[in-house]
Amino acid sequence: METITWQDVSFEKTPELVEVAELVEAFHKWLSEHDHLERGQLITEANAALSETEKRDDVVDVEAILTVEFEEFLPLDRRYLATLANGLELVCVAEENASVRRTWIEPGPITDYVSFSRTESTARTAPPSRPDATGAYLANETVHEDPEAGEVNVIPTETPDEQIKKVADEIERLRDRENWEYEDFAVVLKQSGSAVIETLRAFQQTGVPTESSTVTGFGDDPAIRELLQVVRYLAADDDDIRIELLEASVLDESILASIEQMEGLSSPLRRWATESNMKVRIAEETSPLNVRAQFGNVRRAFAMAEFVEDTSFIETTWKSFASMLERAHEYAPQQNQTSSTELDGGVRVDHLQAIKNGTFRAVFLLDIVDEEYPGSPSLTRLFSQERLSEMPDYPGVTQVEAEDVTNTFPTSSTASSRSFRRYHAEHARRRLAIGATAAGDRLYFCLYNHKDTALEERAQPSRFLTDAYRQLPWVKEATEPEIRSERRAEEYLLSRIDNALADVRRSHSQDVTVSLDEVETELSEIQHLLSESGTRGEQLRDALQARIEFAAGGIRRD
């Protein structure tokens, strides 16, 4: 439904899509009756308003329009641009063999859909670095001379978890040796959504700060949970329910009593945030990289309260607002995809399309296995691939002919005979090229040998990586990095304790000799290191003590 709205497409051939479109039309009609508009309708409405206005010169007060990244303009974007640029000089800049967003919707180069009075092509130059040359090979199958600048490394690991740990170690090694900042690094995945969320969490556990266009959302925000408790309390009619809410939370009853006497919804909610010292608590209890996101979520809750106050078809009561906030909290993903532009200095963790035309000193491309690159086409979960490939009007590339593949991609790296699978395999290769060209000095292909499944299924390296490894002599396996990240250091520290205790126990049962002097020396060095490490050292000291007591039988697991 969202795709239909954003692309402003109509359906007449596929019965399932016609039914979905009818639902969208009914929804938009209902919104219009209540003076509202879905965000996806904005370009369509702007195009209509611009076409119908008699005062165009007052609206479009420019003499020329410069459009960049034109290779990604969808049909609706192009219609709006044509209306906007009517009678003006228009210059569009597009990159060849680089479209990933538009080619997901329509095949072929964009020049097949538009015409200009004059076209120019810039002269091709040799790639300045090995990452650029690797990206060019993935995009065009062009093998260039070795630029000798930069590095392209492969990081193989046994499991996806170990992949994250090795990347974190390499980031810390480069920061230590090259004096780079965290914002110089990008960790990139093929898909957005849960894959990015899980990777963000994994890096947070290693102690590496992160940033992303994927930011903390309603589903996992303690500030929103607190506001939800306040709203539930004010909406409750039963005193017993209120008592239960107070007992299950840290709400201040005196503040609740004072704001309950106020009129409206947004003002009492803001009063709670002020008098309960919420802003200070968020700043003190949350890492700097997440504070801005939480403040943004609180502002969104205030805006929702104002919406209920100002909208005539929703009753302005705490009960109706509680219903809205609960639904937003329940159905929101733990992380929301946004177009964040103000980032705060951590390692960038995102999907490939989000870093297009960005540049980082080092880029780590994760999960370079055949199951991901090329993987299987994943246009929608609503319909099977067989049904999808038969839908001529689906808003995506489904009915594909052989010439569509050759017109869209200069590469031919899949053995599949089906044009549908070939098209989307080449699309995956192009996305990999986009990630490679974002690397300035260093590019890393990261992969694992076994999946995180009960059967430990074996994962095959991506066919694209295998091909590049054969054709490009500068693609090499990375050397084993030293332990640099906090998480790996903790694991190593705990493992040394375990190994020392195991050696001592083994000396009794296996008649082997263990030097207690060496064990004592090693433990003394660890003790000294922890003493110099402040609060974090104290926490590790407690963990080590618990480890020793557990091994000695002094404590047990519940």
Kindly list the distances between the CA atom of residue 293 and the CA atoms of 286, 297, 403, 489, in Å, as whole numbers in the listed order: 10, 6, 46, 30
Kindly state whether residues 350 and 460 are assigned to the same domain: yes
Kindly state whether residues 176 and 68 are assigned to the same domain: no
Residue 121 lies in a domain: no
Kindly state whether residues 189 and 293 are assigned to the same domain: no
Instruction: From 383, 377, 463, 370, select the one nearest 420 (Cα to Cα).
Output: 377
The pLDDT score that the predictor gives to residue 40 is 87
Kindly state whether residues 55 and 135 are assigned to the same domain: no
Residue 556 lies in a domain: no
The pLDDT score that the predictor gives to residue 184 is 93
Model confidence over 307-345: pLDDT tens digits? 888 887 788 898 888 888 888 776 655 444 444 444 556
Adjacent-strand bridge partners of 443: 152, 363
Q: Do the beta carbons of residue 463 and residue 369 sit within 8 Å?
A: no
**Spans in the chain with pLDDT lower than 50:** 216, 334-342, 483
Kindly state whether residues 310 and 410 are assigned to the same domain: no
Q: Do the beta carbons of residue 197 and residue 350 sit within 8 Å?
A: no
Residue 197 lies in a domain: yes
Instruction: From 113, 145, 110, select the one nearest 129 (Cα to Cα).
Output: 145
Q: Do the beta carbons of residue 186 and residue 366 sit within 8 Å?
A: no
Residue 88 lies in a domain: yes
Alpha-carbon distance of 92 to 71, in angstroms, equals: 9
Kindly state whether residues 420 and 510 are assigned to the same domain: no
Is the overall model pTM greater than 0.75, yes or no?
no
Kindly state whether residues 472 and 507 are assigned to the same domain: no
Last residue of a domain, one of 82, 112, 142: 112
Residue 44 lies in a domain: yes
Domain count, the chain: 4
Alpha-carbon distance of 471 to 15, in angstroms, equals: 47
Alpha-carbon distance of 398 to 231, in angstroms, equals: 47
Element of type H or E holding 52 = helix 42-52
Residue 120 lies in a domain: no
Name, in order, each residue with C-beta under 8 angstroms of 21's C-beta and a sequence gap of 6 or more: 4, 10, 11
Kindly state whether residues 445 and 522 are assigned to the same domain: no
Last residue of a domain, one of 277, 311, 332: 332
Last residue of a domain, one of 453, 477, 501: 477
Residue 80 lies in a domain: yes
Kindly state whether residues 328 and 364 are assigned to the same domain: no
Kindly state whether residues 138 and 89 are assigned to the same domain: no
Q: Where are the alpha helices (DSSP H) in 53-193?
A: 56-59, 75-84, 130-140, 160-178
Residue 145 lies in a domain: yes
Kindly state whether residues 228 and 281 are assigned to the same domain: yes
Q: What is the CATH number of the domain that holds 392?
A: 3.40.50.300
Q: Do the beta carbons of residue 352 and residue 99 sit within 8 Å?
A: no
The pLDDT score that the predictor gives to residue 328 is 78
Domain that residue 510 falls in:
486-551
Kindly state whether residues 98 and 209 are assigned to the same domain: no
Pairing of strands 210-211, 89-92: unpaired
